[in-house]
Amino acid sequence: MSDVRRVWVTGIGLLTPLSGQRESSWQRLIGGQRALRWLSAKDVSLGEWPERIAGGPAAIESAADSPNLLLRMAHSAASEALDDAQLDLAACDRDRLGCVVGTSKGCLRSFARWVRSHADESVDWLASWPSGPAQSLAQKFDLRGPLIAPVTACATGLSSVVRGAELIRDGVCDVVLAGSIDASLTPAMLASFRRLGVLAKGDDDPAFAVRPFDRQRSGFFIGEGAALFVLEAADRARGKSAYAEWLSGGGLGDATGLTQLNADPTALVRLIGDTLRRGGLCTSDVDYISLHGTATAANDDVEARAVIQAFGASARNLCCSSLKGAIGHLLGAAGSVEFAATLLAMRDGVVPPTLNLQDPEFDLDFVPHVARQRRIDVALKLSLGFGGHLVAGLIRRPHL
């Protein structure tokens, strides 16, 4: 592989239900803090809210009152990522600056306001389109290379990073801004997920209701967030620090149903194997897996069995974790936010914990309750989207 085709991650912008900044989000995450709580009518931004629903709104000032929330979140994460990478945009070839940013859906808050008022001139229609944030960022930062807005449901964030890395490896771009945003806390969306039967049940305290990989798991709660990354060709990025080198990534389809995967984990096992093979590594090289871990009965079962089958004897040496007990399911932003946490885990040598795990159903080290110190040289991220989107990404510590 020629040097120019190597891809480094040099910047991260992160906004989660725990905080509106990267480092405070990360410190609260590894500190075991939980963002899930009962939502009020203000949290979902529209009208009366007749019953308590748990979730995690994005931690951004006056977020619930903003008609342009999705764009504000995108601009905040992008600015933080570009500053973190110390990227001098004025010195770049603008035609080789790509933007691959997805949402999985447009800003439902803006659309819901329009439906409610029928004629609200304050509605930003750009924010209501799935391509809105990508277009807005390309315009704001004058990114004239490929402009792409992937839509792969809950795997959108990781799909965006995969595509961004491909643009650099194919020689199309030198730098790509990649990632995803989601702001879906509206009555219609919450009601839809409740009707699908995937929201967590029981528990007087919602902070402890989402239990990935626990025998008593019953589903997830919805949160909002964003994570964007600066991806650079390694030869261009020399002389600056990098979080990781992107080794490989890709996806497969498992369109068994709307919310469930095929009970046979063969497709996910194959994706894991293909990703490792393309990255030139074997199962014993992987130190940490960031799992999708929705805390639904069927999906956790398939994901855990896939890891056990794919890694075989090497599975006993892995650390794995799911973040959804802390921040909820961020839908279109889940893959990017969880990938950001994976990069920060590699940087600091700290594995984030799987919260609320009392009775594990599977024989894997899920790092329950408390973060753990561990050097991470190689990490794998898995994202599983509704409708059968399976996506994986493989990273390692950057080597000169």
- Can you list the domains of the chain with their CATH numbers? 7-237 (3.40.47.10), 247-396 (3.40.47.10)
Give the span between the Cα atoms of 394 and 23, in whole angstroms. 23
Q: How many CA atoms, within 13 angstroms, populate the side-chain half-sphere of residue 288?
A: 31
* pLDDT tier at 122, thresholds 50, 70, 90: low
Which amino acid would we find at residue 165?
A
Question: Rounded to 5 degrees, what angle do the CA atoms 2, 5, 9 make?
Answer: 135
- Annotated catalytic residue: which of 154, 173, 319, 320? 154
Give the neighbor-by-neighbor strand order of the sheet with 319-321: 147-148, 97-102, 175-182, 225-233, 7-15, 244-253, 389-396, 378-385, 288-290, 319-321
75 a catalytic residue: no
209: phi then psi, degrees, rounded to nearest 5: -85, -25
Take residue 392 and report the two structure tokens written for it.
Answer: 């994986």
When pLDDT is averaged across residues 28-33 and rounded to a whole number, the result is 98
Q: What is the pLDDT of residue 24?
A: 97
Coil vs helix vs strand at 290: strand
Is pLDDT at 1 greater than 50 in this prediction?
Answer: no
Comparing CA positions, the residue from 344, 388, 248, 356 lying closest to residue 30 is 344
Q: What is the pLDDT of residue 260?
A: 72
When pLDDT is averaged across residues 133-152 and rounded to a whole number, the result is 96
What mean pLDDT value characterizes the chain?
A: 89
154 a catalytic residue: yes
When pLDDT is averaged across residues 322-345 and rounded to a whole number, the result is 97
* pLDDT tier at 63, thresholds 50, 70, 90: very low
Is pLDDT at 119 greater than 90 in this prediction?
Answer: no
- Annotated catalytic residue: which of 292, 319, 320, 389? 292
Provide CB contacts within 8 A for 306, sequence distance 6+.
Answer: 265, 268, 269, 272
Whole-structure pTM value: 0.94
Give the span between the Cα atoms of 311 and 273, in whole angstroms. 9
Is pLDDT at 2 greater than 50 in this prediction?
Answer: no
More confident residue, 339 or 241: 339
Is pLDDT at 61 greater than 70 in this prediction?
Answer: no
Is pLDDT at 113 greater than 70 in this prediction?
Answer: no
* pLDDT tier at 57, thresholds 50, 70, 90: confident
* β-sheet bridge partners, residue 179: 101, 228
- Annotated catalytic residue: which of 99, 173, 329, 389? 329
Residue pair 268/303 in contact (Cβ under 8 Å)? The answer is yes
Q: What is the pLDDT of residue 64?
A: 45
Take residue 208 and report the two structure tokens written for it.
Answer: 């402890």
* pLDDT tier at 158, thresholds 50, 70, 90: very high
